Amino acid sequence: MVAFRVFARSVTRHCVNKSKPNQPSLSLIISRNPKSNSHTWQYQSLRNLILESAPSEIVKLNRLSDVDSGIIEVRLERPGAKNAIGKDMLRGLQGTFEAIKRDPSANVVLICSSVPRVFCAGADLKERKTMNPSEVHLFVSSLRSTFSFLEALHLPTIAVIEGAALGGGLEMALSCDLRICGEDAVLGLPETGLAIIPGAGGTQRLPRLVGKAVAKELIFTGRKIGGRDALSMVTEVHAAAGLVNYCVAAGEAHLKALEIARNINQKGPIAVRMAKRAIDEGLEMNMVSALALEEECYEQLLNTKDRLEGLAAFAEKRNPRYTGE
């Protein structure tokens, strides 16, 4: 209960912070239900939905050590259901993401699977069949809010995709900053085949990555694509862009993701966080406002110890030792 209250308070704090307009909020869940005027009922129902299951044992948080200190792995471990997202996994994801947000030593996050040949198969449809429409609405709203929380984390996040990333699994990957896949990966949003639409951000994040027409075709048809297609997909805006950043040999996605994470982990952590903020928020602004945001983010770095350490390391021709101060 304490963890959920912390999560709710944190998400709400982000929403009211005007300097970060894209932060998620539980109030979004409440406001999107026009059929109910009872905020108390909505909050209580969501709270019961998440807390009624036992503590999660299927979302594991692993903090790497030694030279990799600062890199965190979030591992999905539900082999019997191909990492399908049910109430317990959703609760585990919420608690894990909140723990990462509170961890000042965290610099990079990898989201990966411990289940061979699958990243995440999407929603737990067996569990979904037991829910009434109101419960489904609350669950999907909470999932959407959780992925928005993931997207808004202040540090870089990398989805490590081996095998299937379908439905909510792909939507979780879309909420990360980077996506690395093996060539045997299968990605898709098959929801229209179930007479629904992607409800946890897929209709909004996919077109922002691959362009409107490509996203429409994938969502309208529910077509699944392989890792190589995801990498080489031509968009309306950037001909070299794709759904994933790298596609490597099957089984090697984690090694590539760890290579990238280590590279990021060697950089100034405050600088990386400010860069993420400047990019994410700036894309939603006009150029004048975006450049003003860039200036604001840059100014926050001027008086940091890390900036001085970077200059000293350059002058002394050594690797910098950043502390995040």
Catalytic residue status for 191: yes
Same domain, 124 and 242: yes
DSSP-assigned states of every residue in 248-308? ESTT-HHHHHHHHHHHHHTS-HHHHHHHHHHHHHHTTS-HHHHHHHHHHHHHTTTT-HHHH
| Contact of 96 with 63, CB cutoff 8 Å | no
Mean pLDDT, all residues of the chain: 83
Q: What is the model's pLDDT at position 63?
A: 93
**Tokens at residue 253, please?**
């996605």
User: Whole-angstrom Cα distance, residue 42 to residue 32?
Assistant: 11
pTM for the complete prediction? 0.81
User: Whole-angstrom Cα distance, residue 228 to residue 152?
Assistant: 28
Q: What is the model's pLDDT at position 234?
A: 55
Strand partners, 76: 59, 113
Q: 252-304: per-residue pLDDT in tens?
A: 999 999 999 999 999 999 999 999 999 999 999 999 999 999 999 999 999 99
% pLDDT > 70, the chain: 80
User: Whole-angstrom Cα distance, residue 172 to residue 206?
Assistant: 11
Tell me the H-state helices in the chain.
2-16, 26-31, 39-51, 87-102, 125-128, 133-151, 168-174, 202-210, 212-221, 227-232, 253-265, 269-282, 287-299, 305-315
Catalytic residue status for 77: no
User: Of 245, 266, 287, at which residue does a domain stop?
Assistant: 266
Looking up residue 293, the CATH number of its domain turns out to be 1.10.12.10
Pick the catalytic residue from 106, 121, 123, 278. Answer: 123
| Contact of 47 with 9, CB cutoff 8 Å | no
Catalytic residue status for 171: yes
**Tokens at residue 202, please?**
């897929």
User: Whole-angstrom Cα distance, residue 1 to residue 18?
Assistant: 28
Q: Which CA distances in Å does 237 have to 222, 283, 285, 287?
A: 22, 14, 18, 17
Give the residue carrying structure tokens 């965290």: 106
Angle at 95 between CA 284 and CA 79, to 5 degrees: 105
Same domain, 292 and 175: no
Residue 201 lies in a domain: yes
Q: What is the model's pLDDT at position 40?
A: 37
Q: What is the model's pLDDT at position 56?
A: 56
| Contact of 247 with 159, CB cutoff 8 Å | no
Strand order through the sheet with 164-166: 118-120, 164-166, 186-188, 225-226
Looking up residue 218, the CATH number of its domain turns out to be 3.90.226.10
Polymer length of the chain: 325
Measured over the CA atoms of residue 293, residue 151, residue 143 and residue 88, the dihedral's sign is negative
Catalytic residue status for 168: yes
As for how many domains the chain has, the answer is 2
Pick the catalytic residue from 70, 168, 169, 310. Answer: 168
User: Whole-angstrom Cα distance, residue 147 to residue 284?
Assistant: 18
% pLDDT > 90, the chain: 67
- The average pLDDT across 66-85 equals 93
Q: What is the model's pLDDT at position 241?
A: 61
Pick the catalytic residue from 98, 151, 191, 281. Answer: 191
- The average pLDDT across 175-190 equals 95
Q: 117-138: per-residue pLDDT in tens?
A: 999 999 999 999 999 999 999 9
Same domain, 247 and 277: no
Straight-line distance from the first to the last Cα atom of the chain, in angstroms, rounded to the nearest whole number: 33
**Tokens at residue 65, please?**
């050590």
Same domain, 247 and 119: yes
pLDDT tier for residue 76 given thresholds of 50, 70 and 90: very high
Same domain, 233 and 117: yes
Same domain, 252 and 273: no
Q: What is the model's pLDDT at position 37?
A: 41
pLDDT tier for residue 310 given thresholds of 50, 70 and 90: confident
Residue 147 lies in a domain: yes
What residue numbers bound the domain in which 277 lies?
Answer: 269-316
Pick the catalytic residue from 167, 171, 242, 310. Answer: 171
Q: What is the model's pLDDT at position 242?
A: 79
